[in-house]
């Protein structure tokens, strides 16, 4: 990416410096799943949560790790798929890119309470549809689509503080400025400690969407109870990361996972953009 484009991404990101640190590849490309050899951008709400909910839904550790990798990818591949990179597209009058990345992928659609609820239902439905074809041997290179949908579903719950600060009737942040300005006043909406109610709603919705009849809803509720207790001391990120890392290491140990191969499936123009356009059309249908 040219330096001028990189600068535009960082300017659009404002004070969210982490979004400017990853550029064109994940910070821990050689390691998938919840193993933390390097800092990842806001990974507890996307990578770790996707992994843990998938495990409670009956997924194998390997499949859950792959899902987690692709769920985290829209933030880790910041220059290509982050919300700030979509905003940077506005500076170049790339309105379609702004819409697809900010409004669709990161659920910064600016809708009212009814639109927020509709977006959450629509994305959950698309996740269930993608789960149904996840193991199709004829479509092995399409698993990334499920991760991107899960990312959008998570953000549809997280990015709705707006003027009501996570109360019923909250609106979604808009695709141009996102949640950065409001976050400076009311706090980061991606912070699970301050946003547990919506986090729990997201985790339950994701569990239902991922469960293929082998899930353990009781185990999920026990996990959410642990997270809720941790919010009193601001310790949810550490708890979530430790829980996912411990499970991952016990289940997979040093097993090699093909992160570079997975990353190679992602290309904005040839794979990601057409898919997000399809998602956008489906969401507009209601």
R_g of the chain computed on alpha carbons: 17
Closest CA to 195 of 212, 182, 214, 208: 182
| Residues 138-173 as b or e (16 or more Cβ within 10 Å = b) | eeeeebbbbbbbbbbbbbbbbbbbbeeebeeebbbb
Question: pTM (2 decimals)?
Answer: 0.83
Please answer whether residues 34 and 241 qualify as being in contact, where contact means their C-beta atoms are separated by less than 8 angstroms: yes
| Residues 91-124 as b or e (16 or more Cβ within 10 Å = b) | eeeeeebbbbbbbbbbbbbbbeeeebebbbebbb
By three-state DSSP, how is residue 81 classified?
Answer: helix
The tokens for 39 are 């800092």
Query: What per-residue confidence (pLDDT) applies to 252?
Result: 80
What are the phi and psi torsion angles at 165 (to 5°)? Answer: 50, 55
Number of H helices, E strands in the chain: 14, 0
What are the phi and psi torsion angles at 179 (to 5°)? Answer: -105, 5
Query: What per-residue confidence (pLDDT) applies to 219?
Result: 98
Kindly report the number of other CB atoms within 10 A of residue 281's CB atom.
10
Residue 210: partners with Cβ closer than 8 Å, 6 or more residues away: 53, 54, 57, 59, 127, 131
Give the whole-angstrom CA distance, residue 252 versus residue 11.
40
Residue-range domain boundaries for the chain = 40-285
What separation, in Å, do the N-terminal and C-terminal C-alpha atoms of the chain show? 36
Query: What per-residue confidence (pLDDT) applies to 118?
Result: 93
Query: What per-residue confidence (pLDDT) applies to 171?
Result: 84
Q: Which pLDDT tens digits describe the chain residue by residue (286 residues)?
A: 222 333 233 323 332 323 333 323 332 333 454 444 344 556 889 989 999 999 999 999 989 989 998 998 898 877 788 776 666 555 544 678 889 999 999 999 888 888 999 999 999 999 999 999 998 999 988 999 999 999 999 999 988 875 555 556 678 887 666 666 666 566 677 789 888 989 999 999 999 999 999 999 999 999 999 999 999 998 898 899 889 888 888 888 767 677 778 888 999 999 999 999 999 999 998 7
Please answer whether residues 71 and 44 qualify as being in contact, where contact means their C-beta atoms are separated by less than 8 angstroms: no
Going from the C-alpha of 74 to that of each of 14, 220, 226, the distances in angstroms are 18, 25, 27
Give the whole-angstrom CA distance, residue 178 versus residue 159.
8
DSSP code of residue 47: I
Between helix 143-158 and helix 273-285 the angle, nearest 10°, is 50
Give the whole-angstrom CA distance, residue 21 versus residue 27.
9
């Amino acid at each position: 990416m040219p330096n001028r484009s990189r600068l535009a991404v960082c300017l659009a990101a404002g004070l969210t410096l982490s979004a400017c640190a990853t550029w064109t590849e994940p910070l821990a490309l050689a390691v998938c799943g919840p193993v933390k050899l390097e800092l990842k951008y806001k990974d507890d709400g996307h990578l770790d949560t996707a992994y843990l909910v998938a495990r409670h839904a009956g997924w194998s550790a390997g499949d859950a790790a792959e899902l987690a990798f692709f769920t985290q990818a829209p933030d880790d591949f910041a220059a290509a798929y982050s919300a700030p990179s979509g905003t940077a597209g506005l500076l170049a009058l790339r309105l379609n890119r702004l819409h697809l990345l900010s409004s669709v992928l990161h659920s910064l659609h600016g809708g009212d309470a009814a639109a927020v609820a509709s977006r959450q239902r629509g994305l959950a439905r698309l996740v269930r549809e993608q789960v149904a074809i996840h193991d199709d041997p004829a479509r092995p290179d399409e698993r990334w689509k499920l991760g991107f949908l899960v990312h959008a579903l998570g953000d549809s719950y997280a990015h709705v503080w707006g003027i009501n600060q996570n109360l019923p009737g909250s609106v979604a942040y808009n695709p141009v400025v996102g949640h950065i300005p409001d976050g400076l006043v009311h706090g980061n909406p991606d912070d699970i400690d301050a946003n547990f109610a919506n986090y729990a709603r997201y985790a339950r919705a994701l569990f239902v969407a991922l469960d293929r009849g082998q899930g353990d809803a009781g185990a999920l509720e026990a996990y959410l109870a642990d997270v809720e207790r941790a919010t009193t001391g601001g310790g949810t990120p550490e708890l979530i990361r430790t829980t996912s890392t411990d499970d991952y290491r016990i289940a997979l140990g040093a097993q090699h996972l093909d992160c570079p191969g997975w990353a190679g499936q992602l290309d904005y123009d040839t794979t990601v953009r057409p898919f997000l356009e399809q998602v956008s059309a489906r969401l507009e249908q209601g």
